[in-house]
Structure 1
């Protein structure tokens, strides 16, 4: 039995949702709980011909055997949450910590009206930054103060720690990526809090001694949405020639594409305490790998890339995504 944290190693959009969904189906956790900022992070999970985009509930929702929690460090937009629960069909499985901060309509208005945030930084306009400011100023409402959320309110930290103490498996899901951490990212082009594995544990009330593994997800071709430095960025024409064109789950803005950044991967793995590396998009390194489910199916070109990436990360790469579907993955854990 274990507690595993899954976080993004680059600038977000690494394919964490797909990795979380796969790990959940294989490890069968009793609880999947998310940390992170709030509704500014979107996760896409593809199962067969269905694609789900979620911004509030854990992307591990596709595993039906787990309760779905939102940790106290996460900001909650009640409207987005309730619509998502209904649209995704997870009624009765979702619970939020009583101490979650609330995103108010005025926070969204402030986010969109700020020239600095919306134009220079390139925020998502979901109100998360202003809501976190209100939280720091001790003026924000908490989830327990909102009547329409009453049916979802729990002490998530207590539930998670009790489950771990009973020997159950729990999965903690991060959002966004290391490169936009408020503390370690490309400041000021960052999100409004830390995004590292330590923060995800804290968001859920889990002490560091209770964490068994930290899976850090890296994209073979890292991407970034919005402003900010991107050391290995290629031109849009170059990425299109490679057949790589992606759009943000929340913003729908076209993502900036870059080549592998070994230096950032190494630093990210260090700060996150990476024990297991996950690589997504190996099929962009060599299309012949598309859909592979066995390590033996990987091509020499892909294996050469993975060898270099593993040296950069400094931890074994045990999860390799070979396509968008949750079944298109190699797991050698």
Structure 2
């Protein structure tokens, strides 16, 4: 008998060619269902029965005569007992297929409301056409008319009267059938459960997002990243890990699946190298087919931008522009056009829907910083995309209704890349910062070198107006404050809030007053155990 926590049971019925096996495969692929094939049970109960349709039909009918179909319930109960000891049992079991009323009645009697019965049907012409195209084992030499004349097969349409839903598969394509079945099972929730935490930079980028992601990544089941390789995110390790395309928690959370959304921009040689360096397999990473590809010409076109706005010259902006203009017939490539990426191609919406249905915790990692937003930054000194939380959600294909937390990362002394990169309030020298912090100037200069272009950064006083504006744009629930060692090198030895110096404690209080949200994480250094975690979630 079923116990609390047992999986849902889906009984499939319908004539030959109605699409039962395809629906079963879809439930396995999308929802991780476990399959119970009655043809396998028949051969187990009747050793020696050949893998041939007519022989299997006769053997199944003989089993039905013996106990009225109870044998299907018995096999199902055995499978559920086996699964009960698994660490991560499936939430669905699919029986492909039930053939008589007695089988349905026996399973329903034993498992009650856990059972859902889906009957598939189609017009006779459609069934015949599909049968002709089938290459199923055991169908060879058996004409459609002969298979349909078998006694049990002739009566299978009677099961439609017992089913929870009847789907005419010649009026719905394969995806529509799976969608309707999923809805029947209640796997599409009636309300949206917030499962997504978004992490964005609140300044000009290089806020230390990568290391914050590295700290919390083990808590998530799916890590998502958007943007392009014009920003490198660092995570402490031995050696230090650098991520240009991949989510920064890829190695800190080895169990988590990875996703690059449709709004990502990819440099294929750099991505393939990154995959090799971090040992990422195709089964773990999904790339949306509509992600844009950076070509050599894109990089060449951006060389002139460095003279005007200190571009990283990675071709991201040019490729993004091409994606817009390519609608008019330009010769552009998306991820779906790159042979080397085919093992990774999966539609982001399908990956995300599976994650929602399974209740996965998801982290979306933004890139660069809010003040570099194409739309909301000091144009033209901006990047080629919207870097706010809402922009990242759009690029990833995630609804705002899915958001649980928004973490905005801010550093105590914001930076901009060197050169004509645009206005920055309260710029100061490395000599002044060294005197204030107690950190040697050579160490500061080494730290403040860009990951991607290896250029020296400009540095400035904390901009309180910028903080407030970024809070308005992103609606954060939490602030992650980084580079607190710049408020005193002694903070590097702090592992609790009360060990931070008084300047830092007052700074945190004011950040919370201006932003209106708590400082939930405080980064004291770039190393192990470098984040003081004040979260309540």
TM-score of the superposed pair, with normalisation by structure 2 = 0.59
Q: Does 1:126 align with 2:320?
A: no
Where does the alignment leave 5 or more consecutive residues of structure 2 unmatched?
A: 1-193
Asked if the contact 1:161/1:206 (under 8 Å) is kept, the reply is no
* Equivalent position of 2:491 in the other structure: 289
Q: Does 1:248 align with 2:450?
A: yes
* Equivalent position of 2:259 in the other structure: 69
* Equivalent position of 2:414 in the other structure: 222
- Residue 64 of structure 1 aligns to a residue whose secondary structure is coil
Q: 2 CA distance for matches of 1:291 and 1:151?
A: 45
Query: Among residues 173, 195, 199, which one is paired with 2:365 in the alignment?
Result: 173
Asked if the contact 2:207/2:411 (under 8 Å) is kept, the reply is yes
Q: 2 CA distance for matches of 1:299 and 1:238?
A: 19
Per-residue CA deviations over 1:68-102 (Å, capped at 9, x if unaligned) read 11111010111110000101222343221111011
Asked if the contact 1:5/1:214 (under 8 Å) is kept, the reply is yes
Asked if the contact 1:94/1:152 (under 8 Å) is kept, the reply is yes
Asked if the contact 1:45/1:326 (under 8 Å) is kept, the reply is no
Asked if the contact 2:425/2:461 (under 8 Å) is kept, the reply is no
Residue 240 of structure 1 deviates from its aligned partner by: 4.2
Q: 1 CA distance for matches of 2:493 and 2:333?
A: 46
Per-residue CA deviations over 1:175-223 (Å, capped at 9, x if unaligned) read 0001111011121011011100001111111101011110000001111
Q: How many residues were matched structurally?
A: 326
* Equivalent position of 1:54 in the other structure: 243
Asked if the contact 2:433/2:486 (under 8 Å) is kept, the reply is no
* Equivalent position of 1:24 in the other structure: 217
Q: 2 CA distance for matches of 1:258 and 1:306?
A: 18
Asked if the contact 1:18/1:326 (under 8 Å) is kept, the reply is no
Residue 165 of structure 1 deviates from its aligned partner by: 2.9
Q: Does 1:94 align with 2:288?
A: no
- Residue 212 of structure 2 aligns to a residue whose secondary structure is helix
Structure index of larger Rg: 2
Asked if the contact 1:74/1:100 (under 8 Å) is kept, the reply is yes
Cα 1:94–1:291 change in 2 (3 A) is farther
Residue 326 of structure 1 deviates from its aligned partner by: 4.7
| Greater displacement, 245-254 / 291-300 | 291-300
Q: 2 CA distance for matches of 1:170 and 1:236?
A: 38
- Residue 309 of structure 1 aligns to a residue whose secondary structure is helix
Q: 2 CA distance for matches of 1:265 and 1:178?
A: 10
TM-score of the superposed pair, with normalisation by structure 1 = 0.94
* Equivalent position of 2:385 in the other structure: 193
Where does the alignment leave 5 or more consecutive residues of structure 1 unmatched?
A: none
After superposing on structure 2, the runs of 4+ consecutive aligned residues of structure 1 that deviate more than 4 Å are none
Asked if the contact 2:289/2:334 (under 8 Å) is kept, the reply is yes
- Residue 69 of structure 1 aligns to a residue whose secondary structure is strand
Cα 1:283–1:237 change in 2 (3 A) is closer
* Equivalent position of 1:205 in the other structure: 397
The root-mean-square deviation of aligned C-alpha atoms, in Å, is 1.4
* Equivalent position of 2:234 in the other structure: 44
Asked if the contact 1:180/1:190 (under 8 Å) is kept, the reply is yes
Per-residue CA deviations over 1:235-292 (Å, capped at 9, x if unaligned) read 2432344433311000110111111111101110110111101100111112221142
* Equivalent position of 2:465 in the other structure: 263
